[in-house]
Every structure is written in C-alpha cells, then in structure tokens.
C-alpha cells in the first residue's frame, strides 16, 4: 500500500516537473532574440561613415545615426534587465535599423559632398532648417531659461547669414556659419530635451491618474475633466466617454508641479471642483474653483521647504481655477487653466460641484511626441 502511494507521489512529482519543464521551454522558445546583428550592422555602418568623412561632410545625418545607435543600446540594456520572457526588443531593433540606414546615407552623402562642396552646403542648410523646425515644433513653447532661447536665436540668425553667404558664393563663410549655427541650436536642443526627459519621469503616474479618472467617470456615471498640459488640451468625459475637448492656456512656468504662490506654475494631480462661480464673483467670466492644495500638494510643499527649495516668505497658494478669458495664444495665467469663454460655457453647464478634475503633464509619452517630430 505504501509502495503504491510512493509511486503515485513520484508519478505526480514527475508530471509536475515535466509540465513545468514544458512551460519553461515554451517561455524560452517565445523569448525574442536580441537584435545583435542589427546592432553590429549599425556600429559598422557608423565606423564606415566616419572613415568616409561623414562626421565632417554629413554631420547632421551622422549625428542622427549616432543618436539612433545610442537609443538602440539604451533599449537593449533596458530589456536585458527584465526577466527573459518579458523582453521586447522592438524599439531596440527599430533604432538599430534606423542607425544603420542613417549611417549608410551619411557615408553616401559624405562621398558625394567631398566631390561637390556647393551641393554639400545646400544639404547642410536644408538639414539645419529641419533641425531648427524640429526644435520650434517641440521646444519653443516650453518655459526654458533665457540662455537656451539665446542659443536658439543665435543659431537662427547664423543660419540666415549662412544662406546669404551661400547666395553670394561665399561658400567657406557659409560653411563656418552653418557649423556655428548648428552648435548653438544643438546646445539649446540638448538642454530642452534634458528638461523633458526629467519631466516625463512622471509619465506612468500621469497615465495612472487619467485611467483612474476615466474609470471613476464610467463606474459612477458622472462627468470628469482631464487636463493635458503638454498638448494644451482639456477633455470632458461623461460616463467614461469623451464628450468634448478644448484648447487651454496655462501658467507661464507650466512644466512640473506647482511649488508655491506666485511661481506661475499650473499644478498637477487629482482634484475636485468645489465651487462654480460667475461674474461678479470672478473676473474671468466664469470659473470652476479646484480644491488646490490637496494633501499631496501640502506634503510636497513641506518637504521642499525642509530642503530649502522654497523661499521662507512664500506660502503654498490657492485659488486655482478653470476659468474663461482664454484664447490669447500664450500661457499667461498665474497657474490656472484658461479656456475661451465659449468653451467654458459648454463645460460649465455640463458639470457640477464635486466633479473630478485630473491635471497631467501629458497623455502622450515623450517617445511618441519626439517620433511625431523626427529629427
């Protein structure tokens, strides 16, 4: 009898081990192979491009190859830190392929450019124009420091001067001015991108807030508002369904959390409308008062004060509203969210006190934003 039980236990154990082995084997077989070949091809292509003089004659294209290669290696390392069956090398592969492609194009351009200097300069001017437009499309409306805008402006002026030199056949002067313009614009770009990289560390939290707000609207069959600061949009949901969207304007220093009264920053977090106001109780036509500061805001304020990051004469502030008076084409408020009067009318009539309002930095990831405006 005992022998039979032992045999059954052994049989069951063996079966469990067998099944576990099968599952493990399936996971291994389904684990994607790292794009080693694509990365190596990109590395070799960059070296070949450099030997052809691409770092001199096709600098912008060569830089694109290097940036894509760095991105590929970043995603490669990131995925390798994950458990093997959760890895996804799609972004690594995409950037490695893009790097190899750009490097090959840079090599080809360098060879052609070395034979035709004028054609080379035309290419550089066009590429720098694209670079300048890329900066303008993504970064120009950010609350950047003055020295960043100064670099951008100097680069823009030098680009204009290089075009004038080219038209007058002063090709060496043109080349020098293009390089100087690129140097200034690149400095501005690097600082601006670093700012966004730091800012978008909170992206997972923003998405969590937005999902919670939409689910709350759906579950409770009520209205809710989501404010997307980066896209300058506000979205009104009814029972979890998007019903209305509108353009908005924010505080001048809108990136990041609001720190203290007078910093002209629009807060981020999950809030509630505590009062609806109309003229003469508001100077902005109509207004929806939020319960700022909430618990998280107060905690953040106290921690920053302990670290000496907030002036002693500053308090946390209040009176953050969604209000009318918008449509000015710039971020001008003291931290509130401004809508056109016609749009505040629509939202005002659809919501009530107690309506949740969630303010996030962005509903799009930084990679989505940058990929929509490729260098």
Q: 237-254 pLDDT, tens per residue? A: 999 999 999 999 999 999
Q: Which residues of 71-94 are buried (b: 16+ CB within 10 A; e: fewer)?
A: bbbebbeebeeeeeeebebebbbb
Cα(221)–Cα(209) distance, integer angstroms: 18
Domain boundaries, the chain: 1-30, 32-201, 220-371
Which among 109, 95, 96 has a CA at the least distance from the CA of 49?
Answer: 109
- pLDDT, one tens digit per residue, over 59-116 is 888 999 999 999 888 988 888 888 766 788 888 889 999 999 999 999 998 888 766 7
Res 52: pLDDT: 83
Give the pLDDT confidence of 214-229 residue by residue, as tens digits: 999 999 999 999 999 9
List, for residues 302-316, the tens digit of each pLDDT value.
Answer: 999 999 889 888 999
The CATH number fitting domain 220-371, selected from 3.30.70.100, 3.90.1150.10, 3.50.50.60, 2.40.440.10: 2.40.440.10
Report pLDDT digits (tens) over 343-361: 999 999 899 999 999 999 9
């Amino acid at each position: 009898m005992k022998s039979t039980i032992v045999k059954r236990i052994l049989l069951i154990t063996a079966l469990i081990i067998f099944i576990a082995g099968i599952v493990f084997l399936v996971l291994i077989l389904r684990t994607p192979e790292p794009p080693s070949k694509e990365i190596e091809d990109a590395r070799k292509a960059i070296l070949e491009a450099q030997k052809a003089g691409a770092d001199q004659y096709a600098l912008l294209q060569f830089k694109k190859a290097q940036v894509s290669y760095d991105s590929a290696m970043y995603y490669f390392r990131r995925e390798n830190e994950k458990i093997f069956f959760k890895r996804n090398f799609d972004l690594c592969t995409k950037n490695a392929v893009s790097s190899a492609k750009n490097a090959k194009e840079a090599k080809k351009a360098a060879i052609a450019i070395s034979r035709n200097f004028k054609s080379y300069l035309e290419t550089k001017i066009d590429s720098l124009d694209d670079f300048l437009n890329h900066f303008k499309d993504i970064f120009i409306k950010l609350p950047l420091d003055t020295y960043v805008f100064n670099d951008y402006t100097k680069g823009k002026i030098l680009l204009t001067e290089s075009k004038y030199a080219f038209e007058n056949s002063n090709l060496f002067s043109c080349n020098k001015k293009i390089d100087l313009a690129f140097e200034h614009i690149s400095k501005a770009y690097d600082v601006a991108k670093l700012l966004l990289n730091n800012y978008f560390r909170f992206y997972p939290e923003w998405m969590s807030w937005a999902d919670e707000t939409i689910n709350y609207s759906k579950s409770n069959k009520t209205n809710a508002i989501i404010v997307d600061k980066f896209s300058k949009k506000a979205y009104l949901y009814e029972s979890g369904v998007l019903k209305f969207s509108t353009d908005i304007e924010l505080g001048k220093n809108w990136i990041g959390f609001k720190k203290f009264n007078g910093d002209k920053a629009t807060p981020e977090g999950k809030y509630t409308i505590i009062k609806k106001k109309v003229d003469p109780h508001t100077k902005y036509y109509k207004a929806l008062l939020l319960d700022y500061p909430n618990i998280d805001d107060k905690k953040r304020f106290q921690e920053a004060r302990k670290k000496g990051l907030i002036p002693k004469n500053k308090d946390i502030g209040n009176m953050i509203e969604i209000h009318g008076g918008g449509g000015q084409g710039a971020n001008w408020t003291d931290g509130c969210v401004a809508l056109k009067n016609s749009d505040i009318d629509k939202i005002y009539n659809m919501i009530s006190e107690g309506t949740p309002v969630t303010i996030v930095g962005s509903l799009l990831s930084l990679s989505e934003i940058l990929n929509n405006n490729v260098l």
